[in-house]
Every structure is written in structure tokens, then in C-alpha cells.
Amino acid sequence: MNDKLLEELFGSKIRARVLKLFAHNPQLALSAVEAARRVKADRALCRRTMIRLARLDILKSYDVKNKKKKR
Amino acid sequence: MMLKIKRKRGSVKPLRQTVERRGVEKTKKESGVSGRGNHRLYRFNTDLAFANELRHLVLKLSPPAFAHIEKALKKIGRLKLAVLTGVFLSLENSRVDVLVAGDDIDFKKFNNFVKQLETQFGAELRYVALGVEEFLYRYDMMDRFVFDILEAPHKKLINRLGIK
């Protein structure tokens, strides 16, 4: 995979991967844990990266109250 | 025969507690729910002025490495046909991303291959794996599913069946 350019440009492997994940799925909302699973990266690292991207307004974050399971 | 377990008296209960606690922690982590029961979800910010440009930049800068994929596919089994569409060609509405027809497909390897691709693409892939016989049967009877794939833009990595 020719990802070197992307990684160098955005400064880190994880940032490139997270950006790619969301670029491929613009409608998809993910928790940090789920995103970490998908990019196969450390959870804490992934969360930090996503928080930074959210601060830059590249990602949107919003809180969801835990819904009770419907039967 | 009785099985003797050496353990100090009173040590059973704490062990059970730790096991239970571990179990709870695991399920919590897996569901992505924080202790307070709230999620924080992240999404690509499409309101951004340069949202589309950024998206296309990221997608264009990471083109699929077809040679690499072909190499990996050849290790999976005796493949006669491998077709890539969907996310590989940035198509929005396609039915599948990968169509593979071959014999002796090692599904363990195939699953690993798909998973690897999924992390590279950051998207879940939809794929079909068919035996050669089944594929030819479907092809000969002009099966809707197979034809939809072959009529849409696609890229054949392996084509030993002489299919147009």
C-alpha cells in the first residue's frame, strides 16, 4: 500500500489511518474504541488522535446518552 | 478419584471476584460505553469548507496497490478469477467489492486477507467467494448477481476463465 505519502504528510501513521477511515465512510459515526479496532491501533492513541482532529474541526464529536435496549 | 486442589483457605472467593470483575470490564470496553453510560461518537465533519477536498485528497493519496493485492490473492488458493470493484474504484453504489472464484480456497487465509484490506481501506468490504464450477454455472445462466458485477466498472486481477 502506498501510504507513505499520506503518513508523512499528516505527520503520523495513526493520523493517516484515522483520516482514511473517516474519509472512506463520511456518514459513519464511531466511538474511539470502535475506530481503534478498525484501524488496528492502540485505543488510547487512537482516542487522542481523534480528539485532536475534532479540535481541528476535521471530525465532529457528539455525545450520545446510553440508550436502554428496546425489546 | 478425587482431584486435590491446593489452595489456602479463603482464597477461593477473592479469585472469583477478580474473575467476575475482569468479565465486566471486558464487556464494557467492547461495547465502547464509558462508566457513565455515555458514548462519544466521532464523524467526519462534512460542514467543513474543504471537507470534500480533504476527503478526495486522502482517498487519492492512498490508491489501492493492485500488484500487492494480486500477490496476496495468489497465495489463497487456485484462483481463476478475481474481480475488484466498489471501494477499490471509489464507486458509491456497488453490490460487492471483491468477487473471487477459485478452487481450494483457504478461507482462513482469505479472511485474514480481507481483514488486512479492511484496515487499509478503513471500510468494511463486501466480498463473495465462489467455486469455479458454481461461478461458471451462474455465469452461463446469466445470473443477475454475477452480471451486475461484471457489467459495472471493475478491475480483473486474475482472469484465467477468459471472461470479457
SS3 letters for chain B?
CCCCCCCCCCCHHHHHHHHHHHHHHHHHHHHCCCCCCEEEEEEECCCCCCHHHHHHHHHHHCCCCHHHHHHHHHCCCEEEEEEECHHHHCCCCCCCCEEEEEECCCHHHHHHHHHHHHHHHCCCCCEEEECHHHHHHHHHCCCHHHHHHHHCCCEEEEECCCCC
Instruction: For residue A32, give its domain range.
Output: 4-55
Contact (CB<8Å) B122/A22: yes
With an 8 Å Cβ cutoff, the interface of chain B facing chain A consists of: 29-30, 32-33, 36-48, 51, 54-55, 58-59, 61-65, 68, 87, 118-123
Indicate the number of domains in chain A: 1
| Domain B63-159 coded CATH 2.30.29 | no
Domain for residue A64, yes or no?
A: no
Against a cut of 0.80, is the pTM above it? Answer: no
For residue A18, what is the nearest residue in chain B, using CA coordinates? Answer: B122
Contact (CB<8Å) A65/B122: no
Q: Which residues in A lie closer than 8 A to residue B65 (C-beta atoms)?
A: 1-2
**ipTM value > 0.90:** no
3-state secondary structure of A12: coil
Domain for residue A10, yes or no?
A: yes
Domain for residue A16, yes or no?
A: yes
Whole-Å CA distances, B48 to B40, B51, B54, B105, B112: 20, 5, 9, 45, 36
Q: Which residues in B lie closer than 8 A to residue A17 (C-beta atoms)?
A: 119, 122
Domain for residue A8, yes or no?
A: yes
Sequence spans of domains, chain B? 63-159
> Environment class of residue B38 by beta-carbon count within 10 Å: exposed (0-12), middle (13-18) or buried (19+)?
exposed
Per-residue pLDDT of chain B (164 residues; tens, 9 = 90+): 666 666 566 555 555 555 555 444 444 444 444 455 677 889 898 888 888 888 888 888 877 777 788 888 888 888 888 888 887 787 777 788 888 888 888 888 888 888 888 877 767 788 888 888 998 999 889 888 888 888 888 888 888 887 76
Contact (CB<8Å) B122/A38: yes
